[in-house]
């Protein structure tokens, strides 16, 4: 039972970072009290936290060995934000969990049985799922008895029609869970709700949302529901990402395994860690670093990324039967104006026309006035979406 004034702690663990938020339960919903991130875990750890007024509460750096893993990072986060937590009753803890499989299509209270089901899905999300579960286990030890809720990146996409959900394989494979799940669902759900709150008619319409960051995907949303997504069975599919390959001919994988003798461990590392912008450029997965580089490989990597995102926008617009708005979100989508411009080049046929000045200023709306399709930039907030799920779920419990 959550009472007004209780605290809700939210953790969003990635492969080398942990985002977090502390919310207060109010009659109007969760109110942010602090948020922050520990990035560079195991390499150049940096903790930054802000209060609701965006004042810095913590800003500290360590050497890699001092915060070598996610358990150490969680301990450092709790120590660094202890003053804000002091005196607050933490009534619930929420976690972003990347993969919920075919059955976990809504937030769920975590118990031993749920944890076992989620561990079985680790091979489908090896960069994220282990860290998501480590956060749950660490918080269970630190706050025994406090309810923990798992919220799934795949859940928002369970509204896909069968045609978007299946692969062209015999039906028994779909029955065994080999299907297109889609990811970044918490981000898409938050953006869809925000657009609907701003403009009910637009929220009921046809959106292509581009969640572009170190992990990137796009989603077709109609009437607030996911109709299709660029990602599939795993978070490798779709557009290229920071270190992940995106869509690739499965024949390439067979060739690497059979003709070139690459083992599965080496292939996994290639596809998840050594591909994408980092692999193509031979330099970095950071768009800012690539844009500043004079190396032709960096320029080609960005050009390929823009090409593939543009192609996906067109495909999802076809799925929707037209498009009312294109929404950019996440680290690249919210901040990389030049790359947004390159992505939108040649999309005039869809009615997408950027205003260069608005785009350069990272304005909330970057399309030209009166364009048939609105192009928006919105900050995503997966942590708030999780906090909202906690309040709704525990109110029903």
pLDDT in tens, 249-292: 999 999 999 999 999 999 999 999 999 999 999 999 999 999 99
pLDDT band of residue 395 (cuts 50, 70, 90) is: confident
For residue 319 the two structure tokens come to 């799925």
**Average pLDDT value for residue range 68-84:** 82
Which residues 6+ apart lie within 8 Å of 265 measured at CB?
none
Three-class DSSP category at 112: helix
Q: What angle do CA 276, 128, 38 make, to 5 degrees?
A: 95
How many residues does this entry show for the chain? 397
Is residue 315 scored above 90 in pLDDT? Answer: yes
What pLDDT is recorded for position 28? 87
Q: Could you write out the DSSP letters of every residue in 189-201?
A: HHHHHHHHHH-HH
What pLDDT is recorded for position 391? 92
As a whole number of angstroms, the distance between CA 282 and CA 276 comes to: 10
Q: What angle do CA 194, 231, 288 make, to 5 degrees?
A: 70
Q: What percent of the chain has pLDDT over 70?
A: 99
As a whole number of angstroms, the distance between CA 318 and CA 255 comes to: 32
Task: Indicate if 199 belongs to the active site.
Answer: no
Contact 239, 276 (CB under 8 A): no
What pLDDT is recorded for position 198? 97
What pLDDT is recorded for position 43? 76
**Average pLDDT value for residue range 98-119:** 92
As a whole number of angstroms, the distance between CA 31 and CA 26 comes to: 7
Alpha carbon of 384 to those of 51, 131, 147, 151: distances in Å? Answer: 14, 20, 17, 12
In this structure, is the dihedral angle defined by the CA atoms of residues 348, 350, 355 and 361, taken in order, positive or negative? Answer: negative
pLDDT in tens, 133-162: 988 988 898 889 999 999 999 999 999 999
What pLDDT is recorded for position 71? 82
What pLDDT is recorded for position 64? 64
Is residue 127 scored above 90 in pLDDT? Answer: no
What pLDDT is recorded for position 17? 82
- From the candidates 153, 165, 237, 381, which is the catalytic residue? 153
As a whole number of angstroms, the distance between CA 36 and CA 43 comes to: 18
Contact 254, 264 (CB under 8 A): no
Average pLDDT, whole number, for the chain?
92
**Average pLDDT value for residue range 203-230:** 97
For residue 268 the two structure tokens come to 């996994």
State the number of CA atoms in the 13 A half-sphere of 129 facing the CB.
Answer: 20
pLDDT band of residue 74 (cuts 50, 70, 90) is: confident
Contact 285, 277 (CB under 8 A): yes
**Average pLDDT value for residue range 52-75:** 84
Structural domains in the chain plus CATH codes: 7-152 (3.30.420.40), 199-377 (3.30.420.40)
Which residues 6+ apart lie within 8 Å of 66 measured at CB?
45, 72
* Dihedral angle computed from the Cα positions of residues 193, 178, 319 and 241, in that order, rounded to the nearest 10 degrees: 70
What pLDDT is recorded for position 70? 81
What pLDDT is recorded for position 89? 83
pLDDT band of residue 397 (cuts 50, 70, 90) is: low
**Average pLDDT value for residue range 101-127:** 90
Is residue 369 scored above 80 in pLDDT? Answer: yes
**Average pLDDT value for residue range 11-40:** 88
Question: How many other CB atoms are found less than 10 A from the CB of residue 318?
Answer: 13
As a whole number of angstroms, the distance between CA 353 and CA 340 comes to: 11
């Amino acid at each position: 039972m959550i009472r007004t004034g209780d605290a809700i702690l939210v953790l969003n663990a990635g492969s080398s970072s942990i985002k977090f938020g502390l919310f207060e339960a109010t009659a109007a919903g969760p109110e942010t009290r602090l948020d922050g991130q520990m990035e560079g875990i195991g390499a150049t750890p940096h903790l930054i936290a802000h209060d609701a007024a965006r004042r810095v509460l913590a800003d500290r750096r360590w050497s890699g060995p001092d915060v070598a893993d996610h358990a150490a990072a969680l301990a450092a986060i709790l120590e660094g934000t202890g003053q804000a937590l002091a005196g607050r009753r933490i009534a619930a803890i929420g976690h972003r969990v990347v993969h919920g499989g075919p059955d976990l299509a809504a937030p769920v209270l975590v118990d031993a049985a749920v944890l076992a089901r989620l561990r079985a899905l680790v091979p489908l999300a090896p960069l994220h799922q282990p860290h998501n579960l480590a956060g749950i286990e660490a918080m269970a030890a630190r706050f025994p008895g406090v309810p923990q809720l798992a919220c799934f990146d795949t859940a928002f996409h369970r509204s896909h029609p069968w045609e978007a959900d299946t692969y062209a394989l015999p039906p028994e494979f779909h029955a065994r869970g080999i299907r297109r799940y889609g990811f970044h669902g918490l981000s898409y759900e938050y953006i869809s709700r925000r657009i609907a709150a701003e403009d009910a008619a637009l929220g009921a319409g046809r959106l292509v949302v581009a969640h572009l960051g170190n992990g990137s995907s796009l989603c077709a949303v109609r009437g607030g529901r996911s109709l299709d997504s660029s990602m599939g069975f795993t978070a490798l599919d779709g557009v290229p990402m920071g270190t992940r390959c995106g869509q690739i001919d499965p024949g390439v994988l067979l060739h690497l395994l059979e003709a070139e003798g690459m083992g599965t461990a080496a292939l996994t590392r290639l596809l998840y860690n050594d591909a994408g912008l980092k692999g193509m450029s031979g330099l970095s997965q950071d768009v800012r670093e690539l844009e500043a580089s004079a190396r032709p490989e960096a320029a080609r990597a960005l050009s390929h990324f823009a090409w593939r995102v543009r192609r996906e926008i067109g495909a999802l617009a076809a799925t929707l039967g037209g498009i009312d708005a294109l929404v950019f979100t996440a680290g690249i989508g919210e901040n990389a104006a030049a790359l947004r411009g390159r992505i939108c080049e040649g999309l005039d046929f869809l009615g997408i026309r950027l205003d260069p000045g608005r785009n350069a200023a990272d304005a909330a709306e970057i399309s030209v006035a009166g364009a048939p399709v609105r192009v928006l930039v919105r900050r995503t907030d997966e942590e708030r979406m999780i906090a909202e799920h906690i309040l709704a779920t525990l109110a029903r419990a």
